[in-house]
Chain A
Amino acid sequence: ETGVTQTPRHLVMGMTNKKSLKCEQHLGHNAMYWYKQSAKKPLELMFVYSLEERVENNSVPSRFSPECPNSSHLFLHLHTLQPEDSALYLCASSQDSVGLGAFFGQGTRLTVV
Chain B
Amino acid sequence: AQKVTQAQTEISVVEKEDVTLDCVYETRDTTYYLFWYKQPPSGELVFLIRRNSFDEQNEISGRYSWNFQKSTSSFNFTITASQVVDSAVYFCALSEGGRLNAGNNRKLIWGLGTSLAVNP
Contact of B43 among A92, A101, A102, A107 (CB under 8 A): A107
A43 with B110, Cβ < 8 A, contacts A55-B100, A99-B50 known: yes
The number of chain B residues touching the other chain, given as a range, is: 20 to 34
**Contact (Cβ within 8 A) B50 A50:** no
Would you call A42 an interface residue if the criterion is a C-beta within 8 Å of the partner chain's C-beta atoms? yes
Chain A residues within an 8 Å CB radius of B106: 98
Asked whether, in the complex, the Cβ of B97 is within 8 Å of the Cβ of A98, the reply is yes
User: Which of these, B4, B50, B98, contacts A100 with CB under 8 Å?
Assistant: B50
Q: How far is the CB of B102 from chain A (nearest CB, A)?
A: 10
Residues of A within 8 A of B42 (CB): 106
Q: Are A104 and B46 in contact (CB under 8 A)?
A: yes
Per-position contact with A for B71-110: 1 when CB-CB < 8 Å, else 0? 0000000000000000000010001011111000111111
- For residue A91, which residue of chain B has the nearest CB? B44
In contact, B45 and A99 (Cβ under 8 angstroms): no
**Interface of A, helix, strand, loop or mixed by DSSP:** loop
For A41, the chain B residues whose CB sits under 8 A away are 112
Which residues of chain B come closer than 8 Å to A45, judged between CB atoms?
107-108
For chain A, the bracket of interface size reads 20 to 34
B64 sits at the interface (CB 8 A) = no
Instruction: Note all chain A residues with C-beta closer than 8 A to B109.
Output: 42
Tell me if A105 and B107 are in contact (CB < 8 A).
Answer: no
Task: Report the minimal beta-carbon distance from A82 to chain B, rounded to whole angstroms.
Answer: 22
A101 to B35 alpha-carbon distance, docked (Å): 7
Among A4, A31, A97, A102, residue most surrounded by chain B Cβ atoms (within 10 Å)? A102
Cα of A45 to Cα of B33 in the assembled complex, Å: 17
Is A88 in the interface zone, CB < 8 Å from B? Answer: yes
Report which residue of B33, B45, B49 has the largest number of chain A beta carbons within 10 angstroms of its beta carbon: B45
Give the nearest-CB partner of B42 in chain A: A106
Residues of chain B at the chain A interface (Cβ within 8 Å): 4, 33, 35, 37, 42-47, 49-50, 52, 91, 95, 97-101, 105-112
What are the 6 A-B residue pairs with the smallest beta carbon separation, nearest first?
A101-B47, A104-B45, A106-B44, A50-B100, A42-B110, A107-B43
Provide 24 A-B residue pairs closer than 8 Å at the C-beta atoms, listed in order of the A residue: A2-B44, A2-B47, A9-B43, A40-B112, A42-B110, A42-B111, A48-B100, A51-B101, A56-B105, A56-B107, A88-B43, A90-B43, A92-B45, A96-B100, A98-B97, A98-B106, A99-B33, A99-B52, A101-B35, A104-B45, A105-B44, A106-B42, A106-B43, A106-B44
